[in-house]
Amino acid sequence: MDIWVFMDYLILGLGWVLFYSSHTFLATLNIKRKIRSLLKGQYKWYRLAYSLFSSLFFLALFLYAGSIPPIWLFASGPGSTYLGFMLATFGTIICVKSMRDVSVSRFLGLRPQDDLSENEPLVTDGWYGYMRHPLYAGLILIFMGYFLYVPNLSSLFHLAALLLYLPVGIYFEEKKLLTLYGRRYARYQKEIPAIIPRFGK
């Protein structure tokens, strides 16, 4: 591998580390409380700024990956392409259906508010009745599908970064949820698996 291509992939990997680190760091309760004390009344816009920052960072990583000379890991054929489409489609369906159970405007910050003063309702219905993190499950399928459709090293980096991040992301997210919802979330955590759904009792 050419040294410059190696550096491109190194930057891509570091970009994903920075993206997921900032994603978790900026969502922790302690950091949000410190930011609220600084912004005061303007904190109501924090969630929207956070969503825009994450979305633009995410898009920038994919655009950067597209600029790297591709290293193909295997030749895509009709079978892998079809399976990739199926996985990505099913992952998208899971993400869309799971978002029906939450307020999208509140989730994205389109409805300005102080989310530290008013907790969102704990959603345990729909896809959340089968797994605690259906959005993550959907993203795994989407990234797997993308890798099968575009089987190059960049796509593998995207998938590997997500899979490596999930245990860490889930740990910190659930630590926050236990603080917010206490025993209700602890009981839900014991009854419902994190990502791999359990459809039967």
pLDDT tens digits for range 45-92: 999 999 999 999 999 999 999 999 999 999 989 999 999 999 999 999
For residue 72, list its beta bridge partners.
152
Provide the token pair at 78: 């009709």
Pair 134, 127: CB distance under 8 Å:
yes
Give the single-character DSSP code of 178: H
Task: Record the pTM.
Answer: 0.92
Which backbone phi and psi does 72 adopt, to 5 degrees?
A: -80, 130
What percentage of the chain has pLDDT greater than the value 70? 98
Whole-number Å distance between alpha carbons of 179 and 13? 32
Residue 128 near residue 192, CB atoms below 8 Å: yes
pLDDT at 175 > cutoff 60: yes
Residues, the chain: 201
- Residue 102's nearest CA partner among 124, 118, 82 is 124
**% of residues, the chain, pLDDT over 90:** 80
d(CA 187, CA 129): 13
Residue 152: beta bridge partners? Answer: 72
The pLDDT of residue 127 is 92
Q: Is 152 helix (H, G, I), strand (E, B) or coil?
A: strand
Amino acid identity for residue 128 in this structure: Y
Question: Distance between CA 129 and CA 78 in Å, rounded?
Answer: 35
Beta-carbon count within 10 A of 38 CB: 9
Which residue type, as a one-letter code, is found at position 85? F
Higher pLDDT: 128 or 201? It is 128
To the question of domain 3-191 being in CATH 1.20.120, the answer is: yes
